[in-house]
Amino acid sequence: MNRGVEKKVYQLEDLSSLVDNVPENLQDAVTQIHYKMISHQAYDNNRYVWSKDDFELGTPLGKGKFGRVYIARERKTKFLVAMKILFKSELVKGRVEKQVLRELEIQSRLKHPNILRLFTWFYDDRKIYIALELASEGELYRHLKASPHGRFDEHRSAKYTYQVADALNYCHLNNVIHRDLKPENLLLTADDNVKLADFGWSAHTMSNKRKTMCGTLDYLPPEMIEGKAYDDSIDQWCLGVLCYEFLVGNPPFESEDSEKTYAKIRRIDLNFPKFVTLGAKDLITKLLRRNDMRISLKEVMMHPWIKENKKKPSRETFARRKP
Ligand code: AMP
């Protein structure tokens, strides 16, 4: 099933209707941007071959294991993207060529407001270029660590949990399991919305139960530790761990060494600090349980604690990226 956004092709005469809801002082600028976009050779043309010459590179946004990410601007429209540049030689050395190809294939198919869009990708002899939606506030993890006491208030926790549940639900409807949910794999936009990124570990499900061990230690579900087959409900487990980490500042089964973490996860040895409210505890305990008993992502989005808190105003203003 594909719930992808249907593409609307605009003509010049449609432009005035596009600015109906735009403040008057910005209407001219927005019309001009739209004009440049629909006049671009690539507009409504799947066969347009993008290359690095279409983009101007700006400052680095961050560094990953296999390359760097830069802010970049499409030359004709001035549209801003995040350009991830990977060195082929490093991918071969790290034996991750297949993982990267899988990430490209999966991410380019997914179109959802809370999933980082992959606009296009291309390569030359040495490098692979991936044009991604810009999430200018960077990793959510950095915001979590910069928050008072290293945790989010209930509003931000509920809002981000809702957005991630919505994104994961869309993935599952498209037979994709993310498998590596954690705050480091979530990015934040300038208007404070979460984007699910990093599909390197994700897999097409096609109803087969899978057995590969992957993901981050603190986020591993019991069925994976026990080497059992698992299904898309592992993402619900990870969502429970994530929501706990948002509210408490560290993941629920964190210990001094990995053996202790494994043991706690197997026993689902879950404890909450006093400040966690009843509603939040209710949601988290319904996610952090054996796989056949976890609530669905739809139920997460409808949960009373989520509904009540996601619309509350936040007590915090979110820390902006340092210039
Ligand atoms: P990655 O190679 O995907 O791990 O990215 C490395 C770093 O680049 C991340 O930790 C972010 O700080 C930054 N980054 C990656 N993608 C984006 C994006 N789409 N928008 C803004 N920053 C990004």
- Tens of pLDDT along 28-58? 888 888 888 888 888 888 889 999 999 999 9
Across residues 81-91, what is the average pLDDT?
93
pLDDT value of position 4: 45
Closest ligand 1 atom, residue 135 Cα: 20
**Backbone phi and psi for residue 221, each to the nearest 5 degrees, phi listed first:** -80, 160
Considering 54, 180, 218, 235, which one is annotated as catalytic? 180
Rounded Cα–Cα distance for residues 305 and 286 (Å): 12
pLDDT tens digits along 195-240? 999 876 655 554 444 445 545 689 999 998 988 888 899 999 999 9
Would you list the DSSP string of 169-216?
HHHHHTTEE----SGGGEEE-TTS-EEE---TT-EE-TT--B----S-
Task: Lowest mean pLDDT of 157-161, 178-182, 187-191, 249-253, name the range.
Answer: 178-182
Between CA 93 and CA 109 the distance in angstroms is 27
**Could you tell me the fold of the domain covering 51-134?**
Phosphorylase Kinase; domain 1 (3.30.200)
Q: How big is the chain, counted in residues?
A: 323
Whether the predicted pLDDT of 301 surpasses 80: yes
Which residues are within 8 A (CB) of 90 and not within 5 positions of it... i.e. 6 or more apart? 66, 67
The whole-angstrom separation of Cα 5 and Cα 164 is: 18
- What does the pLDDT average to over 165-188? 92
Q: Name the more confident of 13 and 307.
A: 307
Q: What proportion of the chain, given as a percentage, has pLDDT over 90?
A: 60
Kindly list the domain boundaries of the chain, sorted by start residue: 51-134, 140-309
User: Are 230 and 210 spatial neighbours (Cβ–Cβ below 8 Å)?
Assistant: yes
Q: pLDDT band at 295, cuts 50/70/90?
A: very high
What is the average pLDDT across 136-165? 95
Per residue in 275-302, is it b (16+ CB within 10 Å) or e — as a string?
A: ebeebbeebbebbbbebeebbebeebbe
Q: Which residue has the higher pLDDT, 280 or 62?
A: 280
Query: d(Cα 132, Cα 84) in Å, to the nearest integer?
Result: 7
Instruction: Give the pLDDT confidence score for residue 64 in this predicted structure.
Output: 82
Q: Which CATH class is domain 140-309?
A: mainly alpha
Report the binding-site residues.
Answer: 65, 84, 133-135, 184-185, 198
Q: Cite the annotated binding site for ATP by residue number.
A: 65, 84, 133-135, 184-185, 198
- Could you give the strand order of the β-sheet that contains 194-196, starting from the edge strand earlier in sequence? 138-139, 186-188, 194-196
* Site to substitute for ligand 1 among 57, 65, 69, 117, most atoms within 8 A of C-beta: 69
Q: In angstroms, rounded to a whole number, what is the distance separating the alpha carbons of residues 62 and 52?
A: 19
Residue nearest ligand 1's atom 19 by CA: 134
- Tell me which residue has its CA closest to atom 2 in ligand 1: 64
Task: Quote the distance between the C-alpha of residue 77 and its chain's center.
Answer: 26
Confidence band of 6 (pLDDT split at 50, 70, 90): low
Q: Say whether 220 sits in a helix, a strand or coil.
A: coil
- Rounded to the nearest integer, the mean pLDDT of the chain is 88
Give the per-residue pLDDT at 2: 43
Amino acid 227: pLDDT: 87
Tell me the pLDDT band of 122, cut-offs 50, 70 and 90: very high
Q: Is the pLDDT of residue 12 over 90?
A: no
- Summarize pLDDT for 269-281 with one digit per residue, the tens: 999 999 999 999 9
Q: Measured from the CB, is residue 54 less than 6 Å from ligand 1?
A: no
Q: Residue 158's pLDDT band (boundaries 50, 70, 90)? A: very high
The predicted structure's pLDDT at residue 285: 98
Ligand 1 nearest-atom number relative to CA 195? 19
Share of the chain above pLDDT 70, in %: 89
What atom of ligand 1 comes closest to residue 134's alpha carbon? 20
Contact 279 CB / ligand 1 (< 6 Å): no
pLDDT at 313: 67
132 lines ligand 1 (CB under 6 A): yes
Q: pLDDT-derived band of residue 246, with 50, 70 and 90 as boundaries? A: very high
- Alpha carbon of 256 to ligand 1 centroid (Å): 29
Residue 318 is predicted with a pLDDT of: 56
- Active-site residue 180, yes or no? yes
Angle at the Cα of 23 from the Cα atoms of 39 and 315, rounded to 5 degrees: 115
